[in-house]
Structure 1
Amino acid sequence: MVQVQLTRHLFAFFPQLEGQTLEVEATDVAGVVRALEARAPGLGFYLCDERGRLRPHVNIFIGNALIRDRRQLSDAVKAGDKVSILQALSGG
């Protein structure tokens, strides 16, 4: 299982995930996003555009490493990995 951590801001849009231990079965980042989408419909489109590419305001890390493939999300994950999904926020 892959452990997933989300920024707190995402819970405002997907409250059903708050307080849950997010663990998913996946072999790549795309699989992580699909598994999260299955748990919280709409989350996949919030993170990715209509072509499946990661949106510019979203970053995904595997451990401490920023993923390299923002287009197909093909970066590999394995059991025990921690995947962090961060959304940039701005304002003034």
Structure 2
Amino acid sequence: MAHIEFTPQLHRFINTPVLDTPATTLREALDAAFDGNPLLRGYIVDEQGHLRVNVVVFIDGLRARDLRGLTDPLRPDSRVHVLQALSGG
């Protein structure tokens, strides 16, 4: 099963699940995480369901390419890391 984790910085503001899912696309994996915490959706995707500009997703160490449809494929052993960009100095 694909494994999805969120950055610890995001966890400071909202409960972020770490989960294994049978998802075959990034959208399916994120939806599984949102099922566990619906408030998380607003931090990760915008009103159209596109990845927010301040969020970066890596799948197996490579940056996700489809930031709108979130159709990047996942393998059963994929590792997904969701990071929220930080600003400030």
Under a length normalisation based on structure 2, what TM-score does the superposition of the two structures give? 0.91
Partner of 1:13: 13
Query: Which amino acid in structure 2 is aligned with residue 71 of structure 1?
Result: R
Aligned-residue Cα RMSD (Å) equals 1.3
Give the partner amino acid of 1:4. I
Other-structure match for 1:23 = 20
Alignment of 1:1-92 (within 5 A): 1-15=1-15, 17=17, 21-92=18-89
Q: Contact (CA 8 Å) 1:25, 1:35: kept in 2 or not? A: no
Query: What's the CA shift for 1:15?
Result: 2.9
Separation (CA, whole Å) in 2 of partners of 1:50 and 1:86: 19
| CA shift for structure 1 position 16 | 6.1
Give yes or no for contact 1:6–1:86 (8 Å, CA) kept in 2: yes
The amino acid across from 2:79 in the alignment is: K
Structure 2, gaps ≥5 residues long:
none
Structure 1 residue identity aligned to 2:59: I
Q: How many pairs align? A: 89
Structure 1 runs not aligned, ≥5 long: none
How many percent identity over aligned positions? 36
SS at match of 2:3: strand
Q: Distance in 1 between matches of 2:31 and 2:64?
A: 16
The runs of at least 4 consecutive aligned structure 1 residues that moved more than 6 Å come to: none
Read off the aligned partner of 1:59 and give its amino acid letter: V
> For 1:13-65, what per-residue CA distance to the aligned partner results, in whole angstroms no more than 9, with x for missing partners?
22363xxx421221100001100000111112210000011000000011111
